[in-house]
């Protein structure tokens, strides 16, 4: 068993992952862009729940149709910009997992969840404001494919894959 915390993300379909990755490559400071674009559901779960977490993620995805989701807008992060993701089914999955692991959640994971994909971060607020304005001018909501859920080990650098749980 590892002593590294576990991260849980939603997985996008190949086309949408490519689009988010290209947005991130265009706007994220290159020296800080060490991960693919991602939608984090939990930032820091204890490694002791690995088996139960995998079981629960299998139960949430096995034989289940991929949920409807869309990029619904832009979010200012102050020092960055993100795309807001709307997906009621993911909200339900996350709520059930949060309830199951309630006593084990960090304050960040126990608080409210705002589904998003960060495409710019750790920049000066003025630069983030300029990007937000530029992207807002041409923004149109778009459907995105949520292909599955994934877990990752966090050991201080790029995340290490742990498991994938794909929707039907």
pLDDT at 71: 98
What's the rounded mean pLDDT across residues 100-126? 96
Residues 44/154, Cβ–Cβ less than 8 Å? yes
Given pLDDT bands bounded at 50, 70 and 90, which one contains residue 119? very high
Write the pLDDT tens digit of every residue in 77-112: 999 999 999 999 999 999 999 999 999 999 999 998
What is the residue extent of each domain of the chain?
6-163
Give the up-direction half-sphere exposure of residue 128: CA atoms within 13 A in the CB hemisphere.
18
Say how many Å lie between the first and final Cα of the chain, rounded: 29
User: Which residue, 68, 76, 11, is CA-closest to 39?
Assistant: 11
pTM of the model: 0.95
Do residues 85 and 70 touch, judged by C-beta distance below 8 A?
Answer: yes
Residue 2 has a pLDDT of 78
Q: What is the pLDDT of residue 157?
A: 86
- Residue 146 pLDDT > 90, yes or no? yes
What average pLDDT does range 54-72 have in this prediction? 98
**3-state class (DSSP) for residue 88:** helix
C-alpha distances in angstroms, 9 versus 3, 86, 151?
19, 15, 6
pLDDT band at 15 (very low <50, low <70, confident <90, very high): very high
Average pLDDT, the chain: 96
3-state secondary structure of 83: strand
Report, as an integer, the average pLDDT of 61-87: 98
pLDDT at 1: 61
* Residue 21 token pair: 């990755």
Which residues have CB under 8 Å from 41's CB, separation 6+?
8, 9, 10, 90, 93, 94, 97, 113, 115, 149
Rounded to whole angstroms, the Cα distance separating 67 from 44 reads 24
**Domain 6-163 is in which class?**
alpha beta
Note the pLDDT of residue 142. Answer: 98
């Amino acid at each position: 068993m590892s002593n590294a915390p576990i991260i849980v993300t939603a997985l996008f379909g190949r086309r949408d992952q490519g689009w988010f990755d290209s947005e991130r490559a265009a706007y994220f400071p290159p020296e800080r862009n060490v991960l693919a674009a991602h939608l984090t559901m939990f930032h820091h779960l204890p490694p002791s729940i690995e088996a139960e977490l995998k079981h629960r993620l299998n139960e949430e995805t096995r034989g289940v149709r991929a949920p409807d989701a869309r990029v619904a807008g832009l979010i200012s992060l102050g020092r960055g910009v993100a795309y807001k993701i709307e997906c009621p089914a993911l909200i339900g999955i996350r709520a059930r997992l949060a309830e199951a692991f309630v006593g084990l959640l960090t304050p960040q994971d126990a608080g409210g969840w705002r589904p998003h994909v960060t495409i710019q971060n750790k920049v000066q607020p003025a630069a983030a404001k300029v990007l937000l304005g530029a992207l807002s001018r041409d923004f149109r909501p778009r459907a995105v494919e949520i292909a599955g859920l994934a877990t990752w080990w966090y050991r201080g650098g790029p995340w290490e894959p742990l498991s994938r749980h794909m929707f039907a």
